Amino acid sequence: MKQFANFLVKSVPNKGLLKTITVLVFSIFLLPQQPAKGCGIAYDEYFGYSFIHPDILRLDDGFAPYFLDIGEIYDEFISPKETQTLNNVKEWRERFCNRVSATDIHYVIYKAPIKQLIDLKQVMIADKLKLSYAGRKMSTNSFSKYLYRHKCYETVDYLIFAKSCEPHAVASKMWEDGEKDIPAMLKLIKKGKKQFLETKSYYFRLRYAYQIIRLAHYAKKYDLTLELYDYLMPKID
């Protein structure tokens, strides 16, 4: 430091300027060594947002047991989609006199691939085939066993049709709005009308009408949607 001061005295003849430079240089060594707030590997400080003071929710507070965390709120919340699914499964179970489990109904309707449903129909038609042909999950499922045992052809036909409609009527991701396969949807509407007229059960006629009219709506064929409603609904009552 002494050598640096001697260098300044010899290099800068102007005493006023020398004093200014000396003050500036030595001021640098008095500044705090604050790390930069740029990109880095990690920081000791916490950078974030605090929306509530932690002292408000002291665990030793007498009211602490009444404070709810996000997990408890989430557990109590049921989305409209989940409610619709639960109600649909309940309705199907009541339709079959509560003889099959809700879990098995949920699997057949919402989880089973269309191939398993087609295989189930094949087993019901062919006397030589056993239910195991449709796979282990179907052969051990109380709902599919009931359909197989009682030869519920109309039920299985409807389930296959409904499963065929899913790619066109059920969004896999809420933020996606992909192109609709309109020709395929119109083909399904035509097929659905045919099966609707061949179905004796008014319960399944109502479900066919729902699938068909919904397809027309999602295809943005609004005039066709109204025509289908006027054509199908009077044939249900």
pLDDT of 8 strictly over 50: no
pLDDT of 35 strictly over 60: no
Q: In the chain, what are the domain boundaries? A: 79-151, 152-170+179-237
* Interval 37-77: pLDDT, tens: 555 555 566 566 666 666 666 656 565 555 555 566 556 66
Find out whether 189 and 168 touch, Cβ atoms under 8 Å. Answer: no
Tell me the DSSP string of 179-223: PP-HHHHHHHHHHHHHHHHH---HHHHHHHHHHHHHHHHHTT-HH
* Interval 93-122: pLDDT, tens: 999 999 999 999 999 999 999 999 999 999
**Residue 81's pLDDT is what?**
78
